[in-house]
Structures are given as C-alpha cells and as structure tokens.
Amino acid sequence: MERWQNRVAVVTGASSGIGSAIAKDLVLAGMTVVGLARRVDRVKELQKELPAEKRGKLFALYCDVGNESSVNEAFDWIIQKLGAIDVLVNNAGTLQSGYLVDMNPSVMQQVLQTNIMGIVLCTQRAVRSMRERKFDGHVVLINSILGHKTMTATEGVAPDVNVYPPSKHAVTALAEGYRQEFFGLGTRIKITSVSPGVVDTEILPDSIREAIKDRMLHSEDIAQGVLYAIATPPHVQVHELIIKPLGETM
C-alpha cells in the first residue's frame, strides 16, 4: 500500500457493514478516506474506533448516491477540501425483500437507482478527477455472487430478492464496460469487481440468514479483499474477486 500513503479514497455506503470495514481498513493502511453515507452519524462513530492519531484521516460526509445533485455536492466538497479522488469504492447498495410479481414498483425502482445509477454517478466524478490529473487510480465495485447467478426456488419457497440479482448482474456488466472504456481512452485506471457470497450485514434478508445459519462471511473479510486488489503492483489488475464462505452452496 506504499503508493497509496496519504492518497484520497472515497467509500460509499460507509455507515455500516462492508463499507464501514473498508473505510476503517483504508485509514489504517495510510489513506485519507471520505466515508459517504446518508447516516453520517454512524461514520462519525466509526472515527472513534480508530487510533487517536488516525481519526483525522476519516471524513464523514452526507451523500445519497442515487441522487445526482447529492453526489455532485459531495464530490465538489471532496475536490475543494482534499484536492482529488485517487481511489473510489462503490459499496452503497440496497436490498428490499419482496416478489417481482407483486412488489411495489417504486421500491424496486429505488433499488435499481441506488445499485446501478449510484455507481455511474459516483464513478463519473471520481474518474474525472483521475483523468484531469492523468493519475492511475483505482475503482472498486462491491458486487455480489448474485451478480453472476440467481437464487433457486425450493418447493413452496420462492426467492424474495426481486430486482437485486438483476441490479448486481448490471454491476458485472458495468465492471467490464469500465474496463474497456478505461483502456480505450488511454488511461491506466484499474477496475475491480468484488463479489461476496453471504455476508453477515444489516442488508441480509432474514430468509437467507435462516437458510445459511453460520455459513457467513464477515465484513472484514471483504475489506481485506479490497485492500489486496488495491495493493497489487501497477501492472496487475484484479478483474473479478469472488469471496465465499466455506460451505456456501449458492
């Protein structure tokens, strides 16, 4: 992580779970981190968990990634106060339980707006900063195993994750789209998709938690995967990193 010392990383959805773990580990690894979240108070609480000499390296900032004006306001602040964005971790995402056949369409639309357009909006601003400086930055997309497959029904039990798998399949396609664009535009910006299996976080539906029981990853496991991808030498790009708990059958 030597090349990233005191560089600026932005982590979306930093108020809990995977995002919180990534933000904390990046600070401990020597980066200046902006934790974007709607629940800013939780990011501020995370600051208190850091060693005293590191607390000033984590900034808590409000951002609704699905709202373009909110994204622009947050990234304008980052550029004005910190000067640049060197690493972006697109972690913010949402999952709402329900069935495709009868769920409120407006709720599903919000899932798609957050999980897909949130990445697009934040990545546009981060990559603009990288390209303006001709800086070889890194964009990480926190994907899902459900970005590569869908859930299977059992007799009498239907999957209740609705548009979440389609939204994560879109993230898989976005990762490849960015990879091709970054190369075609003559940059050396890296893109990595990290696809966890079941992780013990707030977003996990009770139906999956009950089925999986103790076969779950921890947020810190995913954070370590992100640090591995970021820490690779300039000539190495981790395209896709799938992390699953031992014994997971999905």
Residue 234 CB: number of other CB atoms within 10 A? 9
Q: Which of 62, 164, 178, 228 is catalytic?
A: 164
Query: Residue 99: which residues within 8 A CB-CB, separation 6 or more?
Result: 158, 160, 162
154-184: b (≥16 Cβ within 10 Å) or e: eeeeebbbbbbbbbbbbbbebbeebbeebee
DSSP character at residue 117: I
If we measure between CA atoms, which residue out of 122, 132, 49, 42 comes closest to residue 90? 122
Which residue in 126, 73, 117, 74 sits closest to 93, CA to CA? 117
Number of alpha carbons in the 13 Å side-chain half-sphere of residue 67? 10
Q: Does 164 qualify as catalytic in the annotation?
A: yes
Residue 142's SS3 state is: strand
- Give the CA distances from residue 55 to residues 22, 34, 185, 229, in Å, rounded to whole numbers and listed in that order: 15, 12, 37, 24
Dist. CA 122–CA 130, nearest whole Å: 13
Q: Active-site positions?
A: 164
